[in-house]
Amino acid sequence: MKPEDIKSVVREKYAEIANQSKLTNETSCCGATGCCSGTDYTIFSEKYDLLEGYHPDADLGLGCGIPTEFAQIKKGDTVLDLGSGAGNDCFVARALVGESGTVIGVDMTEAMIDKARANAEKLRFSNVEFRLGDIEKMPVQDETVDVVISNCVLNLVPDKVKAFSEIVRVLKPGGHLCVSDVVIKGELPGKLKDAAEMYAGCVSGAIQLNQYLEIIGKTGFENIRIHKEKPITVPDNILLNYLNREELSLLRSSGTGIFSITVYADKPFPKSL
């Protein structure tokens, strides 16, 4: 798929999800459309219920980790959430930055931005804002952000080098990122890589773990470390939409795996002459 085609698929599917509840996403047979194509958008998600700042209306169950858990967010920080959806991680981050901090959410799906803004208005949050924009070209000024977070989104971006380069650009020197994402160990069958539904469901957009970490390093980050890693088991009934039973059996026995990771990395200060 061409980059713009990928973005169109992702934008379309997440626009549909924006107009559904988390319960609907969890109980419908394919998450977004009710068409029984098999994609479940919530199989990666974690429980937020006990976190300060959690608001159920903003939780669509679309994450694959809790990036704020390891993001070292402090009072007064400016935090940027990439692919902010309905605002779930932004509102958790707001509880950490306090009234003196600022949280910015960026998302390329207009329906998600509308939903997030409505949630923020309902909660009367004056220090949380949501901007419509592309992660490969963010509507954020240079070196204005202390912490960048993201939850199961960067794997969907076609040009990941451009995305992480943009993160470097907007972070202040000494700032850092902490992102949860989906990666692959081993080689996924081509049928999964090319399936648009699986792409929007956060599987086929994933790249190899080593490649993911290399991109972070090559774009200028230091002190890269994985704080959390867990295997993701995609149910057979989802995979059988793209593979026959023999192909599925080979996949299960190959050692190939889908994992969610939460990665931390620092943007270094400029080196003195």
Higher pLDDT: 185 or 227? It is 227
Strand-pair partners of 225: 264
Examine residue 243 and state whether it is found in any structural domain, yes or no.
no
Examine residue 120 and state whether it is found in any structural domain, yes or no.
yes
| Cα-only R_g, the chain | 18
CA-based nearest residue to 242, from 209, 208, 205, 199: 199
Q: What is the pLDDT of residues 89-143, one digit of tens each?
A: 999 999 999 999 999 999 999 999 999 999 999 999 999 999 999 999 999 999 9
CA dihedral 182, 183, 189, 191 (to 10 degrees): 30
Q: What is the pLDDT of residues 151-182, one digit of tens each?
A: 999 998 999 999 999 999 999 999 999 999 99
CA-based nearest residue to 234, from 37, 26, 43: 43
Examine residue 236 and state whether it is found in any structural domain, yes or no.
no
* CATH code, domain with 194: 3.40.50.150
Examine residue 251 and state whether it is found in any structural domain, yes or no.
no
% residues pLDDT > 70 (the chain): 86
Task: Indicate the helix (H) or strand (E) that contains 259.
Answer: strand 257-266
| Conformational region of residue 36, where left means phi above 0, alpha means psi within -120 to 50, and beta covers everything else | left
pLDDT at 252: 86
Examine residue 248 and state whether it is found in any structural domain, yes or no.
no
Examine residue 98 and state whether it is found in any structural domain, yes or no.
yes
Examine residue 219 and state whether it is found in any structural domain, yes or no.
yes
Question: What's the predicted TM-score (pTM) here?
Answer: 0.88
Tokens of 124: 């009367």
Task: Indicate the helix (H) or strand (E) that contains 14.
Answer: helix 3-18
Q: What is the pLDDT of residues 2-28, one digit of tens each?
A: 888 888 888 888 888 887 766 666 544
Examine residue 49 and state whether it is found in any structural domain, yes or no.
yes
Tokens of 234: 């995609």
Domain residues for 25?
Answer: 3-183+190-229+260-266
Structural domain tally of the chain? 1
